[in-house]
Amino acid sequence: MSSSDPQAPSSVTSVALGVCGGIAAYKAVEVLRGLQRAGCTVRVAMTKRACEFVQPLTFRALSGGHVIVDDYAPDNPDPIAHITFSQTVDLLVIAPATANIIAKFANGVADDFLTSTYLACTAPVLIAPAMNTTMWEHPATQRNLRQLRADGVHFVEPDAGEMACGTIGPGRLSEPERIVKAALEILARAPVARDLAGERFLITVGATREEIDPVRFISNRSSGKMGFALAEAALKRGAAVTVVSGVTTIEPPLGVRVVKALSADDMLKAVASEGGTASVFIGATAIADYRPAQRSQQKIKKSNESITLTLERTPDVLSQVAASRANGMLVVGFAAETENVLDNAREKLRSKKLDAIVANDVSRADSGFDAATNKITIITNKDSVELPLMSKQDAADQILDVIVALRQ
């Protein structure tokens, strides 16, 4: 591990490692060693099927502690091991996690030591799945993953590649170094405050499309990364989250309810339908400001040297939400600008009667559309906070902090 990798806290950190029955079980040895090199003490539990691939003696020799497979076994030194094992650690890591164990976790089944440990665990949980591609993509597995993500479980997504069965696709256990890195990042974080519990967020995300003809449209470069980062962060902080999504280049976070909306009109209808119970609205969508006044029913042929399109304004979704809000709803907008960024954002805040607006200069290569980072200024009617360049995940938490302050 390089010196730039996240480090475990300076105090002694205890990690529980759960190993399940799959061909990738041998890689759990490297996960154990990586955690130890970072200064963690590691305690190991295995399912009975995991012992078919790697013997408990291997983990016992490396960890220096008893490896629990069956808490009813005569050699188990702790009669209530699933309680003391799970509630005296700082993190529970499951690697590899089979489709079977994921299904049990998602449905609250506790029929062996590892599943009982999961239900009794008070620490964060990190799961690294590993299974055949068809099993990974099966609707039942994806449903179980969504449930666990909604329950607050962290995941290291599996890699794509050739697996032992010869299948090529997603499902292969991620590399041990990546699993260790994710574990250390979780250990380094402060506990997530549940300061948005009871709030109901409605967030618009991505880009809209306005059709010119059956094959062409007007759109923009919005990827949805910032909106989905907000949705994921709000969910982790206790809010119920619904996303009205236009076109995006990434998948929505698990646990977030998604309503699709392709055009500005679709977006307006979806927001009107979903907004009645929302307590916070965030307009992070880049809605096309103009659309063709008339859509051609047939593909426009390349027969003329030039064509003229007459455009008309699309509905202003953000203004309409702010004007029709009820029950103390907070309304937050975004101002993606290329010049006079703060002045234009303040005018948008005033004219649309918003509670806050997030201004960012989208002419920068490292900020705004498509980028993984953002440099934003959060403006309210009382003050403004200019933030340095940071990841969109960190920017999302900064925006939510302002929302919490506005609510208070």
Active-site amino acid positions: 165
Q: Strand order of the sheet with strand 154-155?
A: 40-46, 13-19, 91-97, 125-129, 154-155
For the purposes of burial, counting CB atoms within 10 Å of the CB of 328, is it exposed (0-12), middle (13-18) or buried (19 or more)? exposed
- Say which residue the tokens 């969504």 belong to: 146
d(CA 104, CA 97) in angstroms, rounded, equals: 11
Residue appearing with tokens 């948005």:
196
For residue 384, the cross-strand partners are: 379
* DSSP notation for 179-198: HHHHHHHHHHSPPPP-TTTT
384-390 long-range contacts, CB within 8 A, separation 24+:
384/342
Contact 132, 167 (CB under 8 A): yes
Radius of gyration (Cα) for the chain, nearest Å?
Answer: 25
DSSP alpha helix (H) spans, 225-371: 225-236, 264-274, 317-324, 341-351
Query: What per-residue string of b and e applies to 60-74 under the rule 16 or more CB within 10 Å gives b?
Result: eeebeebbbbebeee
Is the CB of residue 314 less than 8 Å from the CB of residue 265? Answer: yes
Q: Is the peptide bond before 56 cis (omega within 30 degrees of 0)?
A: no
